[in-house]
Structure 1
Amino acid sequence: MHQSGTSSQTQTGNAELEARKRALNEVFGLLKLSYHNQFNSAFQDVQTLNHAKRLWLESLAGFSPEQILAGAKRAIKQCEYLPTVHKMLQLCAEGENRLPDPRAAYREACNAPSPKANQKWSHPAVYHAGRAADWFFLANNPESSAYPVFASHYKKVCERLLAGESLPAPQQVQLEHQPAKPLSKAENAKKLAELRAQLKI
Structure 2
Amino acid sequence: MDAINQVFALFRINYHNQYYAAFKDNELLNQARRLWLNSLAQFAPETILRGARKVIEESEYLPTLNRMIRACQGDPEKFGLLDAHAAYVEACRAPSPKSAHHWSHPAVYHAGCASDWYFLMTNPEKVAFPIFERHYLKLCERVMNGAELPAPNVQLLPETIETPLTKEENLKRMEALRKQLDL
Normalization by structure 2: what TM-score? 0.48
Normalization by structure 1: what TM-score? 0.45
